[in-house]
Amino acid sequence: MFHTPIAPRVRKRSRPAEAGAPRREGVKFEDVRLYLVERKMGCSRRSFLTQLARSKGFIVEDILSDVVTHIVSEDTQASSLWTWLKGCELKNLPSVHVLDISWFTDSMREGRPVAVETRHLIQDILPTFPGGPTATVSQYACQRRTTTENNNKIFTEAFEVLAESYEFNEIEGPCLAFRRAGSVLKSLTFEVRSLGDTQDLPCLGEHTKELIEEILRHGRSFEVEKILSDERYQTLKLFTSVFGVGPKTAEKWYRRGLRSFSDVLTEPSIQLNRMQQTGFLHYEDISRAVSKAEARALGNIIDEAVHAITLDAVIALTGGFRRGKEFGHDVDFIVTTPEPGRERSLLPDVTDRLEQQGILLYCDYQASTFDMSKLPCHRFEAMDHFAKCFLILRLEASKVEGGLNSTEEDSRGWRAVRVDLVSPPMDRYAFALLGWTGSRQFERDLRRFARLERRMLLDNHILYDKTKKEFLAATTEKDIFAHLGLEYIEPWQRNA
């Protein structure tokens, strides 16, 4: 696609120090070394611009090598440029400026290399290499590092209320927009103190900016408070907080005039399914956050149960706790084995054992529907096809270091906890781990990035290159990031 320029016939320069020596007007800027990408620019324009820059005292390298500091391209299609750059195997690529032609023309006009600004950057190239001198905030969560420390809670909590309210009304666009905006603010290492602080940030629209301004001025938002006091919002929020009750059911109950749990439980015409019955039965416990110590205790229990069944099992903590969260709504584990096909029947064996131990309070098992020959699937589905089970386990206080996470002294000495187990085949392990580690927003943007920037399809099962028409193999999460041309983001930096 790109033509690697052929070295000039006359002399082959091996040492960069010589590079500028024979130029007519002498080199003025020793520490800036340009390279002009021929693609889109064309051969003759490239040589014209090279002459121009050299006449102004710039060093222009004919060959792209590690001495180059500024790469200038007229091709602003980030994905193809990136693929080519990656193929060049530069050691210092992360520190090189990858710029569009505007930086070049500005520099020519000024007669000196101008400072690199955001507008000069080829979008989505630089954020791939954060740490560059003018790192910008990427529109993709998978190119941002987001820890559990949120410096802008006051804004992100307000955005989440709006997003939720749109979600209840099935208005998808604005819902997603508020989630994206919230996610950008979560990634900031500083607290937004004025609207000016948000100037160069992506994904912040008119509505979000108005909200930020209002909160900055009054410490709260009228719009958010209106939603919070709205009866429909309150009721839907209450109903969906029950395990097994989704927005559809909540809406149905609301329409029938039900407003409280006792309304629902005393309404004779309502038939609760098994999941909802369990949800109401253990409501107090399940709606209380799970602590890290409780997650660790559950890890021991799952470990013990799985290893009693098969010794070569692989068990990994995933979900929010893998991202370093202090509290979660459940605990997620990947459970598998290197023995091909065995993963399909592993979970029923595990839950049988938990039942024998008398700690299985609820089990919703979903058998595997995974079929590699039906992939790639072009339409994203929320659920993956691996065998999985949604459980409620009885956790004894004595198993938890420092005791249970309860408000008052709980005389029962145990609590109910939600646990999810998923069991992918071993060769799908990395994809499942990446998918289940989350956060949801991080996953959404990984898939969006893959699709839009790399022409690839990513889900919990596969990574598929649409250009090459092939599946890309991965044994670790790092392999997947590398295939996508993304800097590796640690699990604790994925709290987008």
Residues found near Mn ion in the complex (CB under 5 A): 319-320, 328, 330, 332
424 in contact with ligand UTP (CB under 6 A): no
- By beta-carbon proximity to ligand UTP, the closer residue of 53 and 496 is 496
Q: Is 182 in the site for ligand UTP (CB under 6 A)?
A: no
Exactly one of 436, 453, 456, 480 binds ligand UTP (CB under 6 A); that residue is 436
Residue 439 near ligand UTP by CB under 6 A: yes
Tell me: does residue 235 bind ligand UTP (CB under 6 A).
Answer: no
329-348: which residues touch ligand UTP (CB under 6 A)?
A: 329-330, 332
Choosing among Mn ion, ligand UTP, none, which partner's interface includes residue 232 (Cβ < 5 to 8 Å by kind)? none
Of 151-159, 296-304, 319-327, 405-413, which segment contacts ligand UTP by CB under 6 A?
Answer: 319-327
Q: Using CA atoms, how far apart are residues 184 and 202, in angstroms rounded to an integer?
A: 7
- Rule CB under 6 A: which of 97-156 touch ligand UTP? none
Nearer of residues 23 and 292 to Mn ion, judged by Cβ: 292
CB of 436: closest distance to Mn ion in angstroms?
A: 8
By the rule CB under 6 A, 319 interacts with ligand UTP: yes
Minimal distance, residue 332 CB to Mn ion, in Å:
4
Taking contact as CB under 6 A, which single stretch among the options 35-43, 185-193, 276-284, 327-335 is the one that binds ligand UTP?
327-335
User: Residues 365-394: x/- map of binding to ligand UTP (CB under 6 A)?
Assistant: ------------------xx----------
x-or-dash string of contact with ligand UTP, 457-486, rule CB under 6 A: ---x--------------------------
If one asks whether residue 217 binds ligand UTP (CB under 6 A), the answer comes out as no
435 binds, among ligand UTP, Mn ion, none (CB under 5 to 8 A by kind): ligand UTP
57 touches ligand UTP by CB under 6 A: no
- Active centre residues (catalytic): 330, 332, 420
The residue ranges that bind ligand UTP (CB under 6 A) are: 319-320, 325, 328-330, 332, 383-384, 435-436, 438-440, 443, 460
